[in-house]
Structure 1
Amino acid sequence: MIKKQKGTYDLYGSDAKKWLVITNLIDTIAEKYNYDFIRTPIFEASELFHRGLGENTDIVSKETYDFKDRSQRMITLRPEGTAGIVRSYIENKMYGDANQPKKLYYYGPMFRYERPQSGRNREFYQFGFEVLGSDDPMIDAEVISLAVNIIKLSGLEKIKVNINSLGDKQTRDIYRNEITNYFKPYINDLCDDCKIRLEKNPLRILDCKVDHELEIMKKAPKIINYLTQDSKTRFELVQKYLKILNIDFEVNSNIVRGLDYYNHTVFEIEVKLPDVGAQNVICGGGRYNNLVIELGGPETPCIGFAFGFDRFLLMLEQSEIKLPINQQIDAYIMYVNEEEKSSAIAIAQDLRMAGLKIDLETMNRNLKSQFKQADRLNSKLLIILNSEDLKNGNVQIKNNITKKEELVELNYLLHYLEEQLNDIEEQSCCDNDCNCDIHDFEQE
């Protein structure tokens, strides 16, 4: 038997329906914030990620799936979404449109070769939002509030928003020198990765998951104390706008993010869950004003964030959040002979084209077994066919909730079913079955 590859998974059943609920939420909130959907290729030229993310980042140096295609071109399966969107922005000359900034969102599979663990796989789904073309600190605050709203609408209320500023180039140059001089005397106390980072990318030491509890890490210089006046003023404006938006936050000087392209505002959002342990960051992002020009485009300020679907669904499960999953069908069509089967096929086609969720018998089961199958499918209504009724232009309808049965003319069938389904909908609300805010939000 051929099995799936390590670090991958099959998404089906109720988990697939949860995935669809979240994507529907993303589509809905993106529309309300006026973001346009974008889809970029799953694989790109390796140079895109090596230049865009940084040669010395853990992702590029350890985790990317790089290979040569049949024409000997170096190809990489995308490990994140931002670089591909920036490449598309440049290649398609979106910067030339009169409509600016470009507000884009995406979701799709990403790939990283790392050790699989709970909520973290080698193939994983990510969704994110990007704003390209605006340097207004207000956009930074709006983007953070958008991420917070997605989390809270899903039902996760206990969150913590951590923000930091990496400042401008002058800030980072000064701070890089300070942090290098600080850690050099302690090089033997650092993990092997951080010893390399000290030479190539010292800011990444602050993001180390191995050494983060060391006393030297806690006493390390804070970049917030090295911000230029312009960077400091900008960061103060971001905080001002977050307060206007009623977003609670904390300034955390240890947030540097894992990629080289970030500058100025960076942020992470944690979910407070006892069972997730250290891996409780559900969302991260920040400003990347130099990435477009680094990849060959014009100078363009940008900001964005990303969520991992897998971690999102895991945290919903651990928080016992029930999403509004529709596990019901509108009607199940039952029959026992070939003549009735032909009518069942035609009726199913007409009702489906009218917008109803319909299933019908396909396993040659007897009526008793078909009733059981209808229950397994949570069918609201049953359409029971028999030859005598069909000759008279009628079908038997059973309300599978009230158990009421009625003989209905075929010509009146659609209207009757819609009335019955409306009555059922009024008697039962999604909010009785879920404890998130998605249903109410989508009805607004």
Structure 2
Amino acid sequence: MNFLQKPRGVKDWFGDELVYFNWIVKKIRSLAFNWGFSEVKTPLFENAQLFQRSNANADIVQKELYQFFDKSQRELALRPEATTPIVRLACENKLMQEANFPLKLFCIGSMYRYERPQNNRFREHWQFSCEVFGFSNLFIFLDTLLFANSLLEALGITGYVLKINNLANFETLSKWNKALKDYLTPYKLELTELSQKRLEKNPLRILDDKIDQKKSFFKNAPKITDFLDASAKQDSELLKTQLKKHNISFEWTDNLVRGLDYYTGFVFEYVKNQDTILAGGVYDNLVEELSSNPTPALGFACGIERLINCLETDKKAFILNTKPKQMLVICLFEEALEELIWLAKLWREYNQVTVYPKVIKVDNGIRLANRLGYTFIGIVGKTDFDKKAITIKNLVSKQQTIHTWNELGERKVF
């Protein structure tokens, strides 16, 4: 294995992609603060049992968990998702108290899943996660959904479909799970190999299989609506009414389930080009399961890589235009180079400046600046040096101006 080659399933961030990444993260963080969320950071690794308890039957635990033993033989795991670590953080640090409700927390960081790398799916991926603790009603769900809508709108992402379902509670899910297993068992050999395994442990996850979904016998499979009580059905109708009232387009999707075990109540996904770009829902039992302290909760997450992939070409051009304008300063003779190395320190108070560390010809300097992505080139020749001036050329517009050295140290020039 070539040690100079990155491991399979991870990505290096640099150039334009990193500009998009930083722009999205900055936008999301600003919007989250506006919606009353506080930022938290959790460790990259946790006790493996934390995820094994909260998602025992989920693929991220059964097949995709990066887990290992440290030198003291403690079983640890790289975080595959952020909700469970945020719950752990809030419980351990005594934030999960009624006086703090609604407790609104968000986290931006890298997650890890050992899965087969494919288009837009990496073993290391970056994610924004937000969680709301202490309330579980239609209004807090609507508020969270509106936040998700506003986030995509702020990023200029359109053309998605919002899918929603009501999973009610664990009792309802258990009934649906059993009915689905009973219905699909006669068709077991017609299911994909993965679905055959899921049929024994978690039949609801078969609903995520895009191949099996297209098979004719799936049309008559039990739906969760067959098991909802009157109260859950009323909640669904109230939500539909509110969404229509606020002109939020949606598809009610009876077979929508989330890939994590802890979801109950309303769940949702924003889908674009068959990829889920943002998803979440209610998980009223997770806090109690981990801490024995009943606390309603809901939240959602979105992958930064998926969001970048959804940016339109004109939006990407706009983002690149917002990055700081930088100038490469070249010197045409040795004496100027020695002086400008010291002067540039003062110029950087207001301007982004790099001094090329050896004498270079103008044409070569311009080619270099263009190749390295600089917007401006600053040229100091003998005449400029004698006047304590610098000629600044915009490499995009080709416009050229002359400024004194003092100007660059006193204000933003470009």
| Equivalent pair of 1:90/1:297 in contact (CA under 8 Å) | no
Q: Name the counterpart of 2:147.
A: 146
Shift, 1:36, TM fit: 1.4
How far apart, CA to CA, are the structure 2 residues paired with 1:259 and 1:243? 28
* Partner amino acid, structure 2, of 1:117: Q
Shift, 1:37, TM fit: 1.4
Q: Name the counterpart of 2:392.
A: 398
How far apart, CA to CA, are the structure 2 residues paired with 1:211 and 1:84? 33
Within the alignment, does 1:334 sit opposite 2:339 as a pair? no
Aligned length: 409
How far apart, CA to CA, are the structure 1 residues paired with 2:183 and 2:313? 40
- Cα RMSD of the aligned pairs, angstroms, is 2.4
Please give the per-residue CA displacement for 1:54-78, whole angstroms capped at 9, x wherever unaligned.
x222111111111111111111111
Matches within 5 A, 1:196-275: 196-271=197-272, 273=273
| Equivalent pair of 2:163/2:251 in contact (CA under 8 Å) | yes
* Partner amino acid, structure 2, of 1:15: E
Q: Name the counterpart of 1:84.
A: 85
Q: Aligned in 2, Cα 1:382/1:240: closer, same or farther, shift over 3 Å? A: same
Q: TM-score, normalised by structure 1?
A: 0.85
How far apart, CA to CA, are the structure 2 residues paired with 1:343 and 1:258? 61
Per the alignment, in what secondary structure is the counterpart of residue 259 of structure 1? coil
Shift, 1:128, TM fit: 1.8
Q: Name the counterpart of 1:25.
A: 27
| Equivalent pair of 1:141/1:239 in contact (CA under 8 Å) | no
Shift, 1:387, TM fit: 5.7
Q: TM-score, normalised by structure 2?
A: 0.90
* Partner amino acid, structure 2, of 1:333: V
* Partner amino acid, structure 1, of 2:336: E
Q: Name the counterpart of 1:373.
A: 368
| Equivalent pair of 2:98/2:134 in contact (CA under 8 Å) | no
How far apart, CA to CA, are the structure 2 residues paired with 1:225 and 1:357? 63
| Equivalent pair of 2:243/2:249 in contact (CA under 8 Å) | yes
How far apart, CA to CA, are the structure 2 residues paired with 1:142 and 1:112? 30
Please give the per-residue CA displacement for 1:379-416, whole angstroms capped at 9, x wherever unaligned.
45443334665455x2123342353333x44334445x
Per the alignment, in what secondary structure is the counterpart of residue 268 of structure 1? strand
| Equivalent pair of 1:332/1:360 in contact (CA under 8 Å) | yes
How far apart, CA to CA, are the structure 1 residues paired with 2:164 and 2:407? 60
Per the alignment, in what secondary structure is the counterpart of residue 295 of structure 1? helix
How far apart, CA to CA, are the structure 2 residues paired with 1:318 and 1:220? 41
Within the alignment, does 1:5 sit opposite 2:7 as a pair? yes
Q: Name the counterpart of 1:288.
A: 283
| Equivalent pair of 2:20/2:316 in contact (CA under 8 Å) | no
How far apart, CA to CA, are the structure 1 residues paired with 2:63 and 2:217? 26
Shift, 1:166, TM fit: 0.4
Shift, 1:188, TM fit: 2.9
Please give the per-residue CA displacement for 1:274-296, whole angstroms capped at 9, x wherever unaligned.
xxxxx422121111110011111
Shift, 1:362, TM fit: 2.5
Q: Name the counterpart of 1:69.
A: 70
Shift, 1:167, TM fit: 0.5
How far apart, CA to CA, are the structure 1 residues paired with 2:331 and 2:77? 53
How far apart, CA to CA, are the structure 2 residues paired with 1:378 and 1:387? 26
Q: Name the counterpart of 2:177.
A: 176
Determine which of 298, 301, 310 is the counterpart of 2:293. 298
Q: Aligned in 2, Cα 1:107/1:208: closer, same or farther, shift over 3 Å? A: same
How far apart, CA to CA, are the structure 2 residues paired with 1:245 and 1:143? 14
Per the alignment, in what secondary structure is the counterpart of residue 373 of structure 1? helix
Q: Aligned in 2, Cα 1:322/1:302: closer, same or farther, shift over 3 Å? A: farther
How far apart, CA to CA, are the structure 2 residues paired with 1:363 and 1:124? 40
How far apart, CA to CA, are the structure 1 residues paired with 2:292 and 2:164? 28
Shift, 1:363, TM fit: 4.8
* Partner amino acid, structure 2, of 1:140: F
Q: Aligned in 2, Cα 1:322/1:370: closer, same or farther, shift over 3 Å? A: closer
Q: Aligned in 2, Cα 1:404/1:200: closer, same or farther, shift over 3 Å? A: closer
| Equivalent pair of 1:329/1:378 in contact (CA under 8 Å) | no
| Equivalent pair of 1:288/1:301 in contact (CA under 8 Å) | yes
| Equivalent pair of 2:362/2:379 in contact (CA under 8 Å) | no
Deviates more, 1:376-385 or 1:103-112: 376-385
Per the alignment, in what secondary structure is the counterpart of residue 96 of structure 2? helix
* Partner amino acid, structure 2, of 1:96: Q
Q: Name the counterpart of 1:315.
A: 310
Q: Aligned in 2, Cα 1:388/1:315: closer, same or farther, shift over 3 Å? A: closer
How far apart, CA to CA, are the structure 2 residues paired with 1:11 and 1:247? 35
Determine which of 327, 330, 343 is the counterpart of 1:347. 343
Shift, 1:158, TM fit: 0.8
Shift, 1:364, TM fit: 4.0
Q: Aligned in 2, Cα 1:178/1:382: closer, same or farther, shift over 3 Å? A: closer
Shift, 1:102, TM fit: 1.5
Per the alignment, in what secondary structure is the counterpart of residue 121 of structure 1? coil
Give the unaligned 5+ runs of structure 1: 274-278, 422-444
| Equivalent pair of 2:337/2:357 in contact (CA under 8 Å) | no
Within the alignment, does 1:48 sit opposite 2:50 as a pair? yes
Per the alignment, in what secondary structure is the counterpart of residue 99 of structure 2? coil
Q: Aligned in 2, Cα 1:246/1:328: closer, same or farther, shift over 3 Å? A: same
* Partner amino acid, structure 1, of 2:367: K
